[in-house]
Structure 1
Amino acid sequence: MTPEPGSRRGRRNDPDRRDRIIDACLDVIAERGVAGVSHRRVADAAGVPLGSMTYHFDGIDELLHEALSRFSSAVSDRFARRMADAPDPASARDAIVSIVLDDVFGSPRELVLTHELYTLAAREPAYRALTAAWMARSRAALERHFDAETARLLDALIEGLTIHRALDDGDRDPREVARAVARLTAGA
């Protein structure tokens, strides 16, 4: 039997397999937490043979790092785009409110992934490097409209509001985010 063109030994080439595995890893983290990630669970979620895991990744740590790196880059890119699209400080304030209310809380999945990454970063230097790069990009995006000190405080406010809004049992008034941003940037 002659193999199909573009395949090895008659099997169809699957150039997107590695990306599907990384995306599936993020799904497993969102569903079960980092502690629930295993080669078998990720392979099942990606719909790939278990052997693909060790073919594409040296171990579960490499897979976790790549998945959370992809996630943090995507969120950071979205943050930077929002801030770049703001033509003036008033629009930048509105963008910050949207980041807190729409981007972070638009998806329970992203909220869980963010907190799982924070937890890993608290323990593991390799993940701390991811969060440090994420914060640096956030501050740089904020500095398009605000001085460096205000940008740093806004970044901390965004993180803090996100955590408080996620863990608070009661409904929160979305206007409090706009009020907090306005107070912090009043002198900026």
Structure 2
Amino acid sequence: MTSDDRPAGTRRGRRNDPERRGRIIDACLTVIAREGVAGTSHRKVAAEADVPLGAMTYYFDGMDALLHEAFTRFATSISARFEARMTAAVDVQSARAAVVAIILEDVFGDDRDLVLSHELYTLAAREPRFRTITSAWMARSRAALELHFDPETTRMLDALIEGVTIHRALDAEPRDPREVELAVTRITRT
């Protein structure tokens, strides 16, 4: 096959890999979860994504751009789960149950999500340009909650979700899930 017979968008000796950029972003999240932001490098992400190191600069203008895209993907996926729970609720009782499920099951569903969330929070606290991600995340959360609750209650619930989830994840002692139900009921009582 001559170079003129190659499909458009392919280079000599390399197959077209339309999923490469996405794999790099996913690999970045994996490395952050394992090593933290401070331990994440182009070299480690490239190895995790199984791509040549040079591919990193082809797709991203530096580590900040990669981190921004990776954390945006992460926050968007968490927000989508949150929105799905709240959209499925049909009344105040099911909305309360959805908030409890978000806290107990969704927000930091596993250790990976917990670590990624804390890494994002820490980065956003130090680097204002990453606050656009956390601000968008909080805005989506509040919009989903406002499907069922007034703005003041929504702000309290949003803070409760973040705070209780962090406490439950980091507490050395297991907590009774009924505490979450009680807190949500108290905040949402009209």
TM-score, normalised via structure 1 length: 0.96
Inter-partner Cα distance in structure 2 for 1:148 and 1:179? 20
Residue correspondence of structure 1 range 117-128 to structure 2 within 5 A: 117-128=120-131
Deviation string 1:26-60 (CA, Å, 9 cap, x unpaired) is 00011111111100000000000000001111100
Aligned AA (2:25)? I
* Residue of structure 1 aligned with 2:168, choices 165, 168, 182: 165
Q: Is the 8 A contact 1:2 1:10 kept in 2?
A: no
Q: Does 2:51 match 1:48?
A: yes
Stretches of structure 2 lacking an aligned partner (at least 5 in a row): none
Inter-partner Cα distance in structure 2 for 1:38 and 1:10? 27
* Farther off after superposition, 38-47 or 103-112: 103-112
Q: Is the 8 A contact 1:100 1:162 kept in 2?
A: yes
Q: How many residue pairs align between the two structures?
A: 187
* Farther off after superposition, 1-10 or 76-85: 1-10
Q: Secondary structure at the match of 2:38?
A: helix
Q: Does 2:145 match 1:142?
A: yes
Moved over 4 A (4+): none
Aligned AA (2:109)? G
Residue correspondence of structure 1 range 1-188 to structure 2 within 5 A: 2-3=2-3, 4-6=6-8, 7-187=10-190
State the 1:126 CA deviation.
Answer: 1.2
Stretches of structure 1 lacking an aligned partner (at least 5 in a row): none
State the 1:2 CA deviation.
Answer: 2.3
Measured on the aligned residues, the alpha-carbon RMSD in Å equals: 1.1
Percentage identity across paired residues of the two chains: 68
Deviation string 1:145-184 (CA, Å, 9 cap, x unpaired) is 0100000000000000011111111111111111110111
Inter-partner Cα distance in structure 2 for 1:167 and 1:144? 30
